[in-house]
Chains A and B, each alone.
Chain A
Amino acid sequence: MDSNEGKFSVFETVCFIVTIIISKLFFTDISRLVRETGTAAWQSTFISCIVSLFFFYIVLFLMKKFPGQHVYEIYESVLGKPIAVILGLLFFSYAIFYAGTNLREFAEIMKAYSFPFTPLYLTITCVLIVTAIFNYFGIECMVRVSVIFFVPIAIGVVLILALAAPTYDAYLLRPFWGYGMTNTVFTGILRSSAYSEILALTVIIKSLQGFKNFKKAGFLSLALSGIVLMISMMLYIMSFGYTLGQEKLSAFFELSRIIYISRFFQRVESVFLFIWVISSVITVAAAVYIALSTYCKVFRLKNHRPLIYPVEFLVFTVAILPDNVMQLMDINIQITRKYSLFLLYLVPVLVLIISAVFKKKGGSVSGKDA
């Protein structure tokens, strides 16, 4: 996949990654976490962020050993082609599963809150058309669009949190330790997968123009997303409390719904519909891109464009698989936000260990990229 990889700066990358990570704000993630950890949900996401920072730090060693190489190329150098192909296809499948899950979650929320009479497949198809156009233009275009829309997203998030201020009650954060510290820490570690989007950087590393930028972009994105998610979760609990908070389908939508400034300015949630459409589309488009990129690397294809249609079709299939939103929340979302860390974080760690044991270093296979 040589075409359309482009180049972008640390700032642009941070905007892109942060948009993808914080898109969970608009989904079922917050209320799910409140259900699992009670009032300590914000501590739990903080722990997830720390764990992700730790894993990213380890991944850095791997990327440093193989400078400027796509993560699949590293697997191929270290594990050999057959195992790398299996792993590549596994990551490809996961990216499609992730895209499909996010897409369905988005469509369900849309159906629940704004378009009750619109068929689900129509909402899904619309997003897929936009993501197909995105992927047609390539990752550079995707990142640049996310830079442009990052400002409205940031303003929207800040506005929702600020305008809902009259409903905040700090006492609702009690009991401070939620269901107990062990539960919080354990859930926090497991749910570090919620930040696993950071590993998208290992796929787009060639566009980042150097290891330093990769490192900077990674740490900044994780820190910023962690702060935003933690504050949002804290304010959400302060607004709804943990009992009511675990019942909401979309925490942020509910938060925007209770905004009441005057008789004239109320029910402004539809304005914020823009920001979650934008962040959700970027998330799905990025997942499709990662799937395409990995597939192209595995089968050494230069042109990703003919693959867009079949990959989008696969994403559509995954999106319509769950019978209902509860099944989606209990199976799909649990896999992507809770258990995917075993695949996403632990595989690079294992590869790093193997490369250290067998003393493999970058430059042997794709020396020109190093």
Chain B
Amino acid sequence: MFRLFQTVKYFLTYREPADTEGGFELLEGKYEEVENEKKENPTQKANADQSEDTEKSTGAPLKATKRNENRKKENKNQLPAQDELVSSELKANFEKIKQELNMPKNADIVIREFTVGMNLKAFIVFVDGMADKIVINDFILRQLMNTDHFKGYKNEYPLDYVMNHVLSINDIEKAKEYKKIISEILNGVTALFIEGCEEALLIESRGYEKRNIEKPSTESVVMGSQEGFTENLRTNITLIRRIIKNKDLITEILPVGKTSNSNCAIMYLDGVANPELVKEVKSRIKSINIDFVTGDGMIEQFIEDKPFQIIPQVLNTERPDRAASFIMEGQVIIIGEGVPFVNVVPVTFFAMFHAAEDSFLRWPFGTAIRLIRILGLFLATLLPALYVSLILYHQEMIPTDLLVAFATARENVPFPTIIEVLMLEISFELIREAGIRVPGVIGPTLGIIGALILGQAAVAANLVSPVLIIVVAVTGLGNFAIPSYSLATGIRLIRFGLILSGAFLGFYGVAAFLFIAGCFACSIKSFGVPFLSPISPVTKKNPDIIARMPNFKQKMRPDYLNTPNRKRAGDKSRS
């Protein structure tokens, strides 16, 4: 009762806005500030330090928040405790590693003790299955145990000697802190501890099983590349690097998931991507505070501007060529571990309509297939709602012959139109969902058989009218024509809202619902970029929104991305 009273009071009383800021916005010229920050000269820095000191020395009592901040800073500056660092005693390290990796409970952790060539005791640690055994046997153990490799050893620091003269591995690094060592071991790296050394060597030996590069399953094209992303982070990064061979293509690896210790990578083209955007992407990823994150589908939910909206604000693609084209436009891509998709931010509604093939086709065909997709969107969203409105409220619009055909088809159907439509729509969704879940080759077959038999049987049993079967089938086709899976899913939900509003108030209800949907779409921003850019708000654009002009006409990068370098092509991009 009290809560009800509180809710009513909350609804009726005036409150000042809690937050007048509109969130992150990708404003023009903002990147300049970041550049200035970067170029901040040492004198300025010194001055800044001084002013900080002056502030500190004023003697005024510190506030709690300030005190906590200072404490955090102090903690950061503090050296790690002794037991968090590698000891010079091998036995202590051995025990620590066993303890940290929960041995012997953990069955897949392998510790191999041996003696290195100069008679020093040592051990390596790796995770069985994560590390490549050939590398460990042939290029780590064999090299380290072979005394011939230690003939030139003259009392140097053993780790340095091993690094420089013994191991022929391309990626080796020294580490002192257990936290880092453990994390690397869990990622497939082999750690080498040698008696008397206060550091460990982290030797690159990742070699776990992974899927080969295959055709993308959701974004297949007739023309163009047939490569799709895989579940492996490194492979995905390489796939993009193979397309953009530019020194300014930056890959930053960021940890996500407190307990799962997963990684994700962000990739962008330095000098093209807006630095403010990159900063924002990193900050949102770093702020993810949950135990387990896998794949970009989960990351997406943590970093979206408005996660409660039906329409997605992040684009997913499983095509490296498409991801590369987004990077070249100035967008940032986020690659998660464990799924063959990457996220692209920021994104607009119109980008979700573009497919990789558009650029490979000559422009008239590219434009034509885009128009077909827009027709698909229109049908997928509105067709059942318009059918319901026509049947229930606006029969005068239907030409007489057609009206007679409709009436005859519906004559024996006992249900009201709305029930009939909802029943068939839900059946269609059921078939679709079941088709995905059923294993292997049975899936698509079940979809087709299910739809055919169910449709035929429903008509024969006078449960639905044959006209409605056509309407629902065309709606389904339209939905499949939308290139973005997330958007298509959103449209499926919106369709149900439209059907209900059409049943409630005919075209008037449909128009009102569309209006509300438009309102929500206009209020969405994807990393500071209005979702309906460049149409609303109107910004400068390439001739590549709905109609697509030839590639050589697309000389500029989108204005809404506010890239430091807007030009894509020279003044004369074609001879």
Contact between chains at A133 and B519 (CB < 8 Å): yes
Known contacts: A144-B522, A281-B512. The answer to whether A264 contacts B399 by CB under 8 A is: yes
Contact between chains at B507 and A9 (CB < 8 Å): no
Q: Is B537 an interface residue (CB 8 A)?
A: yes
Q: Give min CB distance, B158 to chain A, whole Å.
A: 65
Contact between chains at B511 and A141 (CB < 8 Å): no
The residues in A between 75 and 129 inclusive whose CB is less than 8 angstroms from any CB of B are 110, 114-115, 118, 122-123, 126-127, 129
Q: How large is the interface on B (under 10, 10 to 19, 20 to 34, 35 or more residues)?
A: 35 or more
Q: How many angstroms from the CA of A130 to the CA of B501 in the assembled complex?
A: 13
Contact between chains at B505 and A115 (CB < 8 Å): yes
Known contacts: A9-B538, A123-B508, A148-B535. The answer to whether A302 contacts B516 by CB under 8 A is: no
Q: Is B363 an interface residue (CB 8 A)?
A: no
Contact between chains at A8 and B518 (CB < 8 Å): no
Contact between chains at A144 and B530 (CB < 8 Å): yes
Known contacts: A3-B17, A277-B511, A281-B512. The answer to whether A134 contacts B519 by CB under 8 A is: yes
Contact between chains at A267 and B515 (CB < 8 Å): no
Q: Give min CB distance, A275 to chain B, whole Å.
A: 9
Known contacts: A137-B523, A144-B522, A277-B507. The answer to whether A303 contacts B538 by CB under 8 A is: no
Contact between chains at A267 and B396 (CB < 8 Å): yes
Q: How large is the interface on A (under 10, 10 to 19, 20 to 34, 35 or more residues)?
A: 35 or more
The residues in A between 143 and 176 inclusive whose CB is less than 8 angstroms from any CB of B are 144-145, 147-149
Q: Is B66 an interface residue (CB 8 A)?
A: no
Q: How many angstroms from the CA of A110 to the CA of B512 in the assembled complex?
A: 13
Known contacts: A9-B538, A145-B515. The answer to whether A114 contacts B532 by CB under 8 A is: no
Interface string of A250-290 (1 = CB under 8 A from B): 00000000000001111111110110011001000000000
Q: Residues of A contacting B79 with CB < 8 Å?
A: none
Contact between chains at A273 and B538 (CB < 8 Å): no
Dominant SS among interface residues on chain B? helix
Q: Residues of B contacting A110 with CB < 8 Å?
A: 508
The residues in B between 220 and 234 inclusive whose CB is less than 8 angstroms from any CB of A are none
The residues in B between 1 and 29 inclusive whose CB is less than 8 angstroms from any CB of A are 11-17, 20, 22
Contact between chains at A144 and B537 (CB < 8 Å): yes
Q: How many angstroms from the CA of A270 to the CA of B538 in the assembled complex?
A: 30
Contact between chains at B523 and A141 (CB < 8 Å): yes
Contact between chains at B506 and A147 (CB < 8 Å): no
Dominant SS among interface residues on chain A? helix
Q: How many angstroms from the CA of A224 to the CA of B510 in the assembled complex?
A: 29
Q: Residues of B contacting A309 with CB < 8 Å?
A: 11-12
Contact between chains at A147 and B505 (CB < 8 Å): no
Interface string of A1-28 (1 = CB under 8 A from B): 0111000110110000000000000000
Q: Residues of B contacting A123 with CB < 8 Å?
A: 505, 508
Q: How many angstroms from the CA of A171 to the CA of B509 in the assembled complex?
A: 40
Contact between chains at B530 and A273 (CB < 8 Å): no
Q: Give min CB distance, B151 to chain A, whole Å.
A: 75
Closest to B511 in A: A277
Q: Residues of B contacting A3 with CB < 8 Å?
A: 17, 20
Interface string of A325-349 (1 = CB under 8 A from B): 0000000000000000000000000
Q: How many angstroms from the CA of A309 to the CA of B13 in the assembled complex?
A: 11
Contact between chains at A306 and B13 (CB < 8 Å): yes
Q: Residues of B contacting A2 with CB < 8 Å?
A: 17, 20
Contact of B14 among A9, A130, A306 (CB under 8 A): A306
Contact between chains at B14 and A277 (CB < 8 Å): no
Q: How many angstroms from the CA of A126 to the CA of B511 in the assembled complex?
A: 11
Q: Residues of A contacting B505 with CB < 8 Å?
A: 115, 118, 122-123, 126
Q: How many angstroms from the CA of A26 to the CA of B536 in the assembled complex?
A: 25
Apart from the given pairs A114-B508, A145-B522, A277-B508, 9 other A-B contacts in the complex at a CB distance below 8 Å: A9-B538, A114-B394, A148-B535, A267-B396, A268-B397, A277-B512, A302-B20, A303-B14, A303-B17
Q: Report 30 cross-chain contacts, Cβ distance below 8 Å, ordered by A residue.
A: A2-B17, A114-B393, A114-B394, A114-B507, A114-B508, A127-B512, A130-B515, A130-B516, A141-B522, A141-B523, A144-B522, A144-B530, A144-B536, A144-B537, A145-B522, A148-B536, A149-B515, A263-B399, A266-B399, A271-B507, A273-B507, A277-B508, A277-B511, A277-B512, A281-B511, A301-B14, A302-B20, A303-B15, A307-B14, A309-B11
Q: Which 6 A-B pairs have the closest CB atoms?
A: A277-B511, A270-B394, A144-B522, A303-B17, A144-B536, A147-B536
Binding site for A on B (CB under 8 A): 11-17, 20, 22, 390, 393-394, 396-397, 399-400, 505-512, 515-516, 518-519, 522-523, 530, 532, 535-538
Binding site for B on A (CB under 8 A): 2-4, 8-9, 11-12, 110, 114-115, 118, 122-123, 126-127, 129-130, 133-134, 137, 141, 144-145, 147-149, 263-271, 273-274, 277-278, 281, 301-303, 305-307, 309
